[in-house]
Structure 1
Amino acid sequence: MTGTKTGTKEPTGTEELVELASVSKFYGNIKALEGVSLKVDAGRITCVLGDNGAGKSTLIKIIAGLHQHDAGTYTIQGEEVRLGSPREALDLGIATVYQDLAVVPLMPVWRNFFLGSEPTKGKGPFKRLDVSKMRRTTREEMLRMGIDLRDVDQPIGTLSGGERQCVAIARAVYFGAKVLILDEPTAALGVKQSGVVLKYVAAARDAGLGVVLITHNPHHAYLVGDRFVLLKRGAMAGSHLKSEIALEELTRQMAGGSELEQLSHELERAPVPAHLGEGA
């Protein structure tokens, strides 16, 4: 395992793939994250919920190897690590699908599927891309995820937003990801396309991956999630198993709960005095 290791423990029960314990990240005097903990198990979906500025992006960057944590522990399959790059995270089976997807719109679907990891055939001056293998593999892997693309030569930019997300998920599964981090995959999608993406998120879970779903939509999270971690201003605002919390309560906590009630009270229109009402 690459990265710096500082201890080992055996996972128990469901295989624990990733655990963050009291992880913090500081930028000078700014606390981007403080004391955040979460677990990611094989075949389970951990949803991280929070509004803009809650710390979701910082958390993604730490798990994905873009940033190192300043406090707490980060373990992958029982071994404590400090990742130095996204490449190290990928080598350890952690794949991140960002909201912008980083695809090349005018390139065909199969080329985007293998972008940066293209298989070749032949040797020396006769070495070339194995296009037939890439086309065949892309179609097979998309079918395995439940998407029947009749033409993998079509530019990926012609696919819907939901279909592009599914290509990225299928790619991560094919290249051996054990943990899949999805950054707001339904944020820019309508109801129908969001449903398509959530279906393939569940398919990744059923394939045995541990999934981290970053979202600000509690309804989407509750449809597929097994565990919910709520962030607020960089700190933990709650951590619940699905069996422990109803959608209504999750939504209330996500919306601010008591703060929203206080705001509602403050915005209530004061009763108009009778003598003023008469002259209105």
Structure 2
Amino acid sequence: MEGPPVLALRGVSKRFGAVQALTDVELEVPAGEVVALVGDNGAGKSTLVKAIAGVYTPDDGVIEWEGRSASIHRPQDAQHLGIATVYQDLALCDNLDVVGNLFLGREIRRFGILDEVAMEKRSRELLDTLSIRIPSVRIPIASLSGGQRQVVAIARALVGEPKIVILDEPTAALGVEQTAQVLDLVERLRERGLGVILISHNMADVMAVSDKVAVLRLGRNNGVFDRRATNQEEIISAITGATDNAVTRRRERGQIQEQGQEGEQ
């Protein structure tokens, strides 16, 4: 019998003055699954992520952690539970090397002195475990490519051994090869038994790595889809709130053209 999901939101709502950002949102993130959170701009994705990460406190509803109600009022509360968030800006320090970024705020000390040897060893072990290829753990972050910076930011989130990792648009502005590197890492997080919330506008990325796709529309749930049993058209219809959209019209035109070509033959 399966246990409760690691993280669950039950009827979460959030207001900012007269603006209702979230209304009765439900979300479940089991261990070892990638849940993609998608929606148009203004759908409430950022607000929901910040409520989970402790930046905002919900006005109504309950956040459950491993089946029990949890109080998350500060980012430290989320981190203490085991929630790590990698925001789109990554918040890396360009003037520090990879080791310095991985252990920033979590430095290992021995007799009150920074233990550089221990931190370098743990950095190598962590990157090797995740199959992350970096020229050197002593290379400055400023010298790394966009994809390498992204995977270092994700690796830094794992130093605290979280159970849930939230990735905010991790492949935005990356090239094809760098995107593939990041998506490979997302799959390795799943293999390690972590729950992953993937926020993305890229439907190809969503379909490539997610197990479930949760759609937000105007601050409300608008469907949770099993990735293996759905398609991009169905998800985009849920995002836009209409069955008639640019994607479905383009598909219909293609079908009409194909039928016309068959008729000519």
The TM-score with structure 2 as length reference comes to 0.88
Match 2:245 to one of 260, 265, 270:
260
State the shift of 1:250 in Å. Answer: 2.2
Distance 2:68 2:195 in 1: 16
State the shift of 1:252 in Å. Answer: 4.0
User: What do residues 32-87 of structure 1 show as CA deviations (whole Å, max 9, x unaligned)?
Assistant: 11121110010001110012111110000011011111112210111112311010
Q: Secondary structure at the match of 1:198?
A: helix
Letter in 2 for 1:133: A
Letter in 1 for 2:130: M
State the shift of 1:90 in Å. Answer: 0.3
State the shift of 1:173 in Å. Answer: 2.3
Q: Secondary structure at the match of 2:245?
A: helix
Match 2:37 to one of 45, 48, 59:
48
Q: Percent sequence identity over matched residues?
A: 41
Distance 1:161 1:241 in 2: 31
1:75 partnered with 2:60: no
Residues 32 and 55 in structure 1, CA contact (< 8 A), matched pair in contact too: yes
Residues 11 and 25 in structure 2, CA contact (< 8 A), matched pair in contact too: yes
Residues 114 and 134 in structure 1, CA contact (< 8 A), matched pair in contact too: yes
Letter in 1 for 2:207: Y
Which consecutive unaligned segments of at least 5 residues does structure 1 have? 1-11, 265-280
Q: Which residue of the partner structure matches residue 51 of structure 2?
A: 62
Q: Which residue of the partner structure matches residue 144 of structure 1?
A: 129
Q: Which residue of the partner structure matches residue 142 of structure 2?
A: 157
**Of the two, which has the highest radius of gyration?**
1
The TM-score with structure 1 as length reference comes to 0.84
Letter in 2 for 1:229: A
Distance 1:155 1:212 in 2: 29
Residues 103 and 112 in structure 1, CA contact (< 8 A), matched pair in contact too: yes
Distance 1:13 1:246 in 2: 27
Q: Secondary structure at the match of 2:153?
A: helix
Q: Which residue of the partner structure matches residue 90 of structure 1?
A: 79
State the shift of 1:15 in Å. Answer: 5.1
State the shift of 1:28 in Å. Answer: 1.3
CA separation of 1:65/1:71 partners in 2, compared to 1, >3 Å: closer, same or farther? same
Residues 139 and 149 in structure 1, CA contact (< 8 A), matched pair in contact too: no
